Amino acid sequence: MIRTIAGAELFINGAEVFRKYCKKLMLVFAVFLAGCASKNVQQVDHSAVTATNGQSQVGVDEPVTPFAAETLYDLLVAEIGGQRQRYDLALGNYLKQAHKTRDIGVARRAYQVAVYVGARQAALDASLLWVELEPENPDALHGSSLELVYAGQYDRAFARMSQQLSLGGSPAFDVLASAAGNDQGRHSQLELIQQFDQLSQAYPDYPVLKLGRAILRQQTGAFESALTLANELLRQDRGFVPAMMVKGRALHKLKRDAEAEIMLADAIRRHPDKNRLRLLYGRVLVHAGKLDLARKQFEILLERAPGESDIVLSLALITSENGLEQEAVQYFEQLLALGERNNTAHYYLGRLSEKRQKYSAAKEHYLSVGPGKEFMAAQVALTQMLVGQNKLEEALTHVGEARSRHPARMESLFLLEGELLVNDRQLGRALILFERALKTNPESVNLLYSRAMVYEKLDDLEGLEKDLRSILAFDPDNAAALNALGYTLADRTDRVKEAEALILQAYDLNSEDPAILDSMGWVQFRLGNLDQAEKYLRMAYSQLPDAEIAAHLGEVLWVKGEQDAARSLWAEALRKSPDSQILKDTMGRLTGGDPKSQAETVSTAP
More confident residue, 71 or 122: 122
Contact (CB, 8 A) for 275 and 294: no
pLDDT in tens, 544-572: 999 999 999 999 999 999 999 999 999 99
pLDDT in tens, 207-261: 998 999 999 888 888 899 999 999 999 999 988 999 999 999 999 999 898 999 9
Q: Quick one: how far is CA 242 from the chain centroid?
A: 22
Q: Is the pLDDT of residue 35 over 60?
A: no
Cross-strand partners of 183: none
- Measured CA to CA, the distance from residue 376 to residue 373 in angstroms comes to 7
Question: What pLDDT, on a 0 to 100 scale, did the predictor assign at position 59?
Answer: 38
Cross-strand partners of 52: 55
Q: What are the angstrom distances between the C-alpha of 270 and each of 230, 244, 265, 266, 459?
A: 18, 12, 9, 6, 68
Question: What pLDDT, on a 0 to 100 scale, did the predictor assign at position 27?
Answer: 43
Q: Name the band, by pLDDT with cuts 50, 70 and 90, for residue 71.
A: confident
Q: What are the angstrom distances between the C-alpha of 297 and each of 151, 253, 262, 268, 302?
A: 35, 21, 15, 10, 9
Contact (CB, 8 A) for 553 and 583: no
Contact (CB, 8 A) for 269 and 262: no
Phi, psi at 64, each rounded to 5°? -110, 130
Question: What pLDDT, on a 0 to 100 scale, did the predictor assign at position 310?
Answer: 85
Q: Is the pLDDT of residue 599 over 80?
A: no
Contact (CB, 8 A) for 229 and 246: yes
Q: Is the pLDDT of residue 587 over 60?
A: yes
Q: Which of 101, 158, 105 is nearest to 130 (CA)?
A: 105
Q: Name the band, by pLDDT with cuts 50, 70 and 90, for residue 183.
A: low
Phi, psi at 372, each rounded to 5°? 155, -175
Q: What are the angstrom distances between the C-alpha of 247 and each of 52, 175, 205, 229, 556?
A: 32, 17, 18, 9, 50
- Measured CA to CA, the distance from residue 138 to residue 170 in angstroms comes to 8
- Measured CA to CA, the distance from residue 592 to residue 65 in angstroms comes to 104
More confident residue, 200 or 185: 200
Predicted TM-score of the model (pTM):
0.63
Q: Name the band, by pLDDT with cuts 50, 70 and 90, for residue 24.
A: very low
Q: Amino acid letter at 531?
A: D
